[in-house]
Amino acid sequence: MNRAIIILSLLSFVFIYQSCQNQEQPDSDKTAEAHVFAEAEKIYESVCAGCHGLEVAAFADRKEWKFGDSKDSIIYVISNGLAEEGMPAFDSTYSADQINQLADYIIDAKENVEKYRNADPIESDTFQSELLTYRIDTVISGLNSPWGMDFLPGGELLVTDKSGELYMVGSDGNKTEISGVPDVLYEGQGGLMDVELHPNFEQNNFLYLSYSIYKEEDGETLGSTAVARGVLDGNKLSSVEVVFEALPYFATKHHYGSRLSFGTDGKLFITAGERGKRDENPQSLERDGGKVHRINDDGTIPSDNPFVEKEGAKASIYSYGHRNPQGLTIHPVTGEVWEHEHGPRGGDEINIIEKGNNYGWRTISYGINYDGSTFTDKTEMEGMTQPIHYWVPSIAPSGMDFVTGDKYPEWKGNLLVGSLKYKYLDRVEIDGHTIVHEEPLIKGLGRVRSVRMGPDGYIYVGLERPGFVVKLVPVEE
Ligand code: HEC
């Protein structure tokens, strides 16, 4: 009887196998591929894409692979992760088979890189949105990653390239590199990041840059988030001094935060990410990581900061319990400090930053670990501030500004948030502190890294891979 069952199951296996084989012979290769990689594709989209982007071909489009591009080395990285870069290990989440299939899926994508590169990312340069039609004008191209932007009083765009250069772009589109920029650690998520002019720039020519500062210690490179102030004269930055440095330094290469914004009170707000040290940094007032800081324009501490009197606390801290905040802007009407931050897998947040508040990372969160396990079952707790909005799944937000001026009356007062993962600019309609509607703009153009209103009233957007800056120009119908 046992034998009968075995034979029967063998027969049915052969039958299923054959029908599967039959299904694998349609004329289009695509269906066959989708069948082979169905599971890998699902894992990639739900888990890997959060960090590597939705298109696996874009991820596979790299000149150098950390450990070579053999299947074994790809399997090695997926299984063991890259702790210092923020890539988790997946050997306890997925079976050897699943990891094997993921590696095949990536190798297959590698072979399609040319096809992906040659694909035209946008059909036309005119986009139809819910409320208006607009066109895309390229302001500057040929960058690695336009991480931060600001504008000179004469209207010239100042844009950082994460690889370490600061450019001034005139209305003719010509770019001039500014000399005297501090040396940066261009690795992982670090590099030259935000740029912000002093509110009285016309009088003092002060310009602020955030970046990953570094030092060598015991043969190891350690990095941190720093802010330098310099005096801009023509295309030269001089008298450069560090006005903020997050301590301690770490060997990790991710979660630097680094957005800058001057508040209506003339103080400089700085976001510092938790450097991948979620258990040590965000809840400790003795450490700078995982905080929003507030300093005077010369780096000294405002006497009304919340923890100046608290023993052992870092006096520059304004709020704490943050993960990796890459969005910071001031509400044009209320003057409130609006921030957004990357959650883990799920749980990216928008917060209104208030003096001394604890935003809860990693005690409370709407997200889970990248490997699917949980690290907290709490989304709220007494004494911890709730976000006004959170995204599940994560959109990987970077850059934020409010629509002001009169070029887009339909969008006036909306919040704009870049999405690295889904490659769009999220237009967020708000009513007070409530998010009432979202619409993705410029979808598919590129990973949106930065967004800023220009003094000419237009929306400027910085995109990466490849790096360029566009402006959105409404089109009369
Ligand atoms: C939390 C973010 C994160 C998640 C989630 C993540 N990775 Fe990574 N991964 C990284 C970082 C950071 C690197 C190093 C930088 C780079 O090479 O892009 C990396 C590198 C890699 C590499 C090595 C690339 C090389 O150059 O050798 C592979 C392969 C890889 N990831 C595959 C995956 C797969 C497959 C998944 C999903 C199961 C995944 N990753 C999920 C962050 C992540």
pLDDT digits (tens, 9 = 90+) for 331-367: 999 999 999 999 999 999 999 999 999 999 999 999 9
Q: Is 241 left (phi over 0), alpha (psi -120 to 50) or beta?
A: beta
Residue 174: what pLDDT? 92
Q: Measured between alpha carbons, how far is 462 from 460 in angstroms, rounded to an integer? A: 7
Residue 62: what pLDDT? 87
Cβ atoms of 403 and 329 within 8 Å: the answer is: no
Tokens found for residue 477: 């119908």
Residue 26: what pLDDT? 37
Q: Ligand 1 centre from 87 Cα, in Å? A: 5
Give yes or no for residue 16 having a pLDDT over 80. Answer: no
Catalytic residues: 255
* Nearest Cα residue to atom 7 of ligand 1: 87
Q: Measured between alpha carbons, how far is 31 from 101 in angstroms, rounded to an integer? A: 17
Give yes or no for residue 266 having a pLDDT over 60. Answer: yes
Tokens found for residue 304: 């009304």
pLDDT tens per residue across span 125-137: 789 999 999 999 9
Residue 118: what pLDDT? 62
Give yes or no for residue 144 having a pLDDT over 50. Answer: yes
Interacting residues of 398 by C-beta distance below 8 A, sequence separation 6+? 326, 327, 418, 419, 420, 448, 449, 450
Q: Does residue 65 have its Cβ closer than 6 Å to ligand 1?
A: yes
Give yes or no for residue 32 having a pLDDT over 60. Answer: no
Higher per-residue pLDDT: 34 or 190:
190
Residue 264: what pLDDT? 98
Q: Ligand 1 centre from 271 Cα, in Å? A: 25
Directed axis angle between helix 71-80 and helix 96-111, to 10°? 130
Q: Measured between alpha carbons, how far is 105 from 56 in angstroms, rounded to an integer? A: 8
Give the residue from 410, 476, 477, 406 showing the smallest Cα distance to 441.
Answer: 410
Q: Does residue 105 have its Cβ closer than 6 Å to ligand 1?
A: no
pLDDT tens per residue across span 62-91: 888 888 889 999 999 999 999 999 999 999
β partners of residue 472? 136, 459
Give yes or no for residue 381 having a pLDDT over 80. Answer: yes
Residue 349: what pLDDT? 98
Residue 117: what pLDDT? 67
Cβ atoms of 206 and 238 within 8 Å: the answer is: no
Give yes or no for residue 11 having a pLDDT over 50. Answer: no
Amino acid found at 73: S
Q: Ligand 1 centre from 399 Cα, in Å? A: 23
Interacting residues of 416 by C-beta distance below 8 A, sequence separation 6+? 399, 400, 401, 402, 403, 425, 426, 427, 428, 441, 451, 459
β partners of residue 166? 160, 178
Report the b/e string of 46-60 with b at 16+ CB within 10 A: ebbbbbbbebbbbbb
Q: What average pLDDT does the segment 102-129 reach? A: 79
Confidence tier at 14 by pLDDT (50, 70, 90)? very low
Domains assigned to the chain: 25-118 (1.10.760.10), 127-474 (2.120.10.30)
Of ligand 1's atoms, which has the minimum distance to the CA of residue 68? 27
Higher per-residue pLDDT: 277 or 14:
277
Residue 112: what pLDDT? 80
pLDDT tens per residue across span 286-299: 999 999 999 999 99
| Mean residue pLDDT across the chain | 91
Pocket test for ligand 1, best of 42, 52, 348, 375 (most atoms within 8 A of CB): 52
pLDDT tens per residue across span 449-468: 999 999 999 999 999 988 99
Q: Does residue 149 have its Cβ closer than 6 Å to ligand 1?
A: no
